[in-house]
Structures are given as C-alpha cells and as structure tokens.
Amino acid sequence: MIHFLSEDIPSLGQDNGPLAIAQGNELALSRQGYDFRSDDQSSGLLPADHDNGIPATGKGNEHPTDSQSSGLLPIDQDKICRWIGAVAASYGKKLGDIHYIFCSDKRILEVNRQFLGHDYYTDIITFDYTEGPRISGDLYISLETVASNAGMLGNSYREELHRVIVHGVLHLCGFKDKQPADEQNMRRQEQKALELWNRMFPANNV
C-alpha cells in the first residue's frame, strides 16, 4: 500500500502551482499515528539517498518562503499508485508499505543530518525496508528542492516531481546511483518510467 503524508509542507508561490496534499481517506495533512522507524537502522536496513545535495551552508535564501504554510500537492494519488505498482511489477516486484513523506528543505536537511550524517539539501532520501520481492520504504521528498531543480533543468514542476517519486521506487527495486554507470542507468530507468506514465495516462503528459 502506498501512503501519502506530509511534514512541514512549504508554500512555493503561484509559479509552482498549488502545493498541499488533498484531504480525504487516510491521506491526511499530518503524520499523526505514524512513527518513523529509525530503529531499522540498527538492523542493517540502510538508506539509499539521492545524492545530488546542495551544501546547507550555501543554500541561503534560495527559497524565501514560509515553510509552515501549505497549499495543494498537484498529483493524482490514485494514478500515482497505479503507476508505481506498474513500475514495480515491470521489475518483478510487489508493493509492500511505501510511505511518501512530502516536506520542506528544512525537514529533509534534518533527516539527512540525523540519519546519514550529510550536511546538505537533497530532493529525496529513501529508507529501504524491502524484503524479498515486496518493496517497502519511507521516501522523504523536499518539494522546495524539487521545484528549484525543475527550474534549473527546464522541466515542469509536475514532471520533476514524478521523476523524483519514481526515483525512490527504483532504489527500492534495487537500482543504485552512486557510480557514474549506475547513475546513467538510473536516469534511463527514470525515463522509462516516465514514458510508462505517459502511455498509461496520455491526457496527463505534463
């Protein structure tokens, strides 16, 4: 099952579209009742972080926003779930419990420092709890870094968000990106997944 949660959701302004998770069912704005499983670190379940970090000391006022405010997150959660399930199945994997935690730069920096010992911002940190063919994990995604990366790469915010969402799932499926060859392969798999999205939902090719 895929869960969509939030922590310290930022407001990025009109240019990036609405940025709040729609309320309804269990897709609530807060993480009440959900505990981060930091104890899994001691049992050999190591995080696979997306290491394109920007040093925390160099980020400055790149996102001059009120990180306590919120808006709507522009994703169709039902379609995302179907897409992620199809991506996983293409690698012979099944979905376990996957938690997407959308957050601010401030929050992802805290996670990066506490659990990885890294002092920089990043777009996604993936904590992998996969056992066998059933993939599970906690995926922290900074919406602020996603937005800034979209601008730098010339992508739409939604396209970049989809790329980061599937990036974490690819880590859970076993793909790495630390070495140059692995990173190139990861980019190919991301593109393959985005093309699958476009085939599944041709009216949403944005």
Query: Which has more pLDDT, 96 or 121?
Result: 96
pLDDT digit string, tens, across residues 76-94? 889 999 999 999 999 999 9
- What's the structural domain count of the chain? 1
**More confident: 11 or 36:** 11
- The answer to whether 50 and 183 have CB atoms below 8 angstroms apart is no
Cβ neighbourhood burial of 89 (10 Å; 0-12, 13-18, 19+):
exposed
Average pLDDT of the segment spanning 116-131: 90
CATH code for the domain in which residue 162 is found: 3.40.390.30
Structural domain for 96, as ranges = 2-30+48-204
User: Is 38 inside any structural domain?
Assistant: no
